[in-house]
């Protein structure tokens, strides 16, 4: 009976000691670290530069008074369409002295110069028309081969972009031809008016001011009637169907851009438009941001390659958001950039296995600031810790928030 009491006491105290040890271990062991997790996944990835831009009519022409005189009121409004030769306004020439021999020679030289410039622009327009025709035939040829899978979709898109650019260059060349014809007419008008005065004809007809181009009124510089000097601006005309996009880019980012880089245009009130960089200007300028920070920026000019029907409501000076695509891939293993930290020149993450975080070395590739490509060290579906804190160590227990 005593032996049973003795064994019972030992059993009681042994269990008591084990429970005490377990309580101490449970009390002193570290609490799990609360973490946020991210899954290693595969998917498309892009590296882009996003800036704000504005549209601009590529070819603008300022109509000026060919003679000094009295300007009649301009009845046109901004946005009104005009055609070549359309009467914009009229100028009553003021009495002026006859040109002397030197001034007449200069006027005749200007007529000859304007005639030569017109011939030059006509040759350029002919060359541009040939280039546009060749680009259209090349596009038609590739489209015919498309059904037989003899040409890649990328090659077809390049041919379409080349055809669109050639058409834009042709429109610009024809615009320049119309402008040169107007310059020649203006030079002839001044010489003819002087000749009429020299012949003693006191009655001078009104000088019409006509549109040199096919386009729209972009601005009215002088609307009211009154005395006007020769060469003083009256109207600004342009073709709103030939728009380009001007984007002010930080000089740090501008060095990464070159002609041909793809651009996506959004934030203008319609769908996404495709564009391509045509020119990165070699001269920077200083700008002050909304926060008062001085920045060095560079103007980048892009051509819209989407069909005109997709952006026909866009006008001159409209705001757009431009996204330059520097690099793109359809399938990359990636994780959030916030999960990676550096130590001793290595890229590390905490990979969660079970309920513990394991310190794992990874090899990284390109990053867009939000996600980073993983070349080695992780597999698709692995869980990693976002924003790992200092209290997290290799083997630490973790708990998901």
Which CATH number goes with the domain that contains 257?
2.40.30.170
Domain count, the chain: 3
Look at residue 389 and tell me if it is in a domain.
yes
- Same domain (yes/no): 178, 318: no
3-state SS assignment for residue 355: coil
Torsion, Cα 370 375 380 384, to 10 degrees, reads -50
Mark which of 238, 265, 292 sits at the end of a domain.
Answer: 238
DSSP state string for 121-152: HHHHHHHHHHHHHHHHHHHHHHHHHHTTT-S-
Look at residue 230 and tell me if it is in a domain.
yes
Look at residue 66 and tell me if it is in a domain.
yes
Q: Looking at residue 296, what is its pLDDT?
A: 93
Of 114-123, 191-200, 391-400, give the lowest mean pLDDT range. Answer: 191-200
- Same domain (yes/no): 232, 360: no
- Same domain (yes/no): 199, 123: yes
Closest CA to 71 of 48, 101, 93: 93
- Same domain (yes/no): 259, 159: no
- Same domain (yes/no): 195, 300: no
**Model confidence, pTM:** 0.62
- Same domain (yes/no): 171, 76: yes
**What end-to-end distance do the CA atoms of the chain give, in Å?**
57
Look at residue 85 and tell me if it is in a domain.
yes
Look at residue 12 and tell me if it is in a domain.
no
- Same domain (yes/no): 378, 229: no
Of 136-150, 255-269, 356-370, give the lowest mean pLDDT range. Answer: 136-150
Q: Looking at residue 122, what is its pLDDT?
A: 80
- Same domain (yes/no): 186, 250: no
- Same domain (yes/no): 146, 78: yes
Look at residue 16 and tell me if it is in a domain.
no
- Same domain (yes/no): 83, 184: yes
Q: Looking at residue 237, what is its pLDDT?
A: 92
Q: Does the pLDDT at position 369 exceed 90?
A: no
User: Are the beta carbons of 372 and 337 closer than 8 angstroms?
Assistant: yes
Q: Looking at residue 290, what is its pLDDT?
A: 78
- Same domain (yes/no): 163, 214: yes
Mark which of 273, 302, 328 sits at the end of a domain.
Answer: 328
Q: CA 240, CA 236: separation in Å to the nearest integer?
A: 12
More confident residue, 7 or 127: 127
Mark which of 296, 328, 360 sits at the end of a domain.
Answer: 328
Q: Looking at residue 215, what is its pLDDT?
A: 87
Q: Does the pLDDT at position 338 exceed 70?
A: yes
Q: Looking at residue 401, what is its pLDDT?
A: 78
Tens of pLDDT, residue by residue over 94-123, are: 755 555 666 677 777 787 887 887 788 888
State the residue range of the domain holding 349: 33-45+330-400
């Amino acid at each position: 009976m005593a032996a049973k009491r003795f064994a019972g006491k030992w059993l009681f105290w042994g269990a008591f000691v084990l429970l005490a040890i377990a309580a101490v271990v449970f009390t002193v062991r570290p609490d799990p670290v609360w973490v946020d997790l991210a899954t290693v996944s595969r998917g498309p990835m892009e590296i882009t530069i996003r800036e704000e831009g504005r549209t601009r009519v590529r070819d603008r022409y300022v109509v000026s008074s060919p003679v000094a005189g009295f300007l009649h009121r301009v009845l046109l409004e901004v946005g009104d369409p005009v055609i070549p030769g359309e009467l914009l306004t009229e100028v009553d020439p003021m009495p002026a002295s006859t040109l002397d021999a030197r001034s007449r020679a200069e006027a005749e030289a200007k007529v000859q110069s304007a005639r030569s410039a017109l011939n030059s622009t006509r040759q350029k327009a002919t060359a541009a028309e040939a280039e546009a025709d060749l680009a259209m035939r090349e596009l038609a040829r590739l489209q015919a081969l498309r059904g037989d899978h003899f040409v890649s979709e990328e090659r077809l898109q390049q041919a379409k972009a080349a055809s669109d650019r050639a058409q834009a260059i042709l429109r610009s060349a024809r615009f320049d031809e119309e402008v040169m014809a107007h310059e020649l007419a203006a030079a002839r008008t001044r010489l003819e008016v002087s000749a009429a005065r020299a012949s003693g004809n006191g009655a001078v007809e009104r000088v019409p001011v006509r549109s040199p181009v096919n386009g729209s009124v972009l601005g009215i510089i002088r609307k009211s009637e009154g005395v006007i000097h020769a060469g003083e601006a009256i109207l600004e005309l342009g073709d709103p169907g030939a728009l380009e996009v001007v984007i002010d880019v930080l000089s740090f980012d501008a060095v990464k851009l070159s002609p041909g880089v793809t651009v996506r245009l959004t934030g203008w009130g319609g769908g996404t438009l495709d564009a391509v960089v045509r020119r990165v200007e070699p001269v920077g300028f200083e700008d002050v941001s909304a926060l008062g920070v001085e920045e060095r920026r560079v103007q980048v000019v892009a051509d819209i390659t989407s069909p005109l029907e997709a952006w026909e409501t866009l006008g001159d000076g409209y705001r757009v958001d431009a996204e330059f695509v520097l690099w793109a891939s359809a399938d990359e293993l990636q994780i959030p950039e916030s999960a990676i930290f550096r130590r001793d020149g290595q890229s590390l993450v905490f990979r969660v296995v079970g309920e513990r975080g394991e310190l794992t070395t990874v090899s990284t590739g390109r990053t867009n600031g939000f996600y980073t490509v993983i070349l080695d060290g992780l597999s698709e579906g692995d869980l990693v810790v976002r924003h790992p804190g200092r209290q997290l160590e290799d083997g630490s227990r973790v708990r998901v928030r």
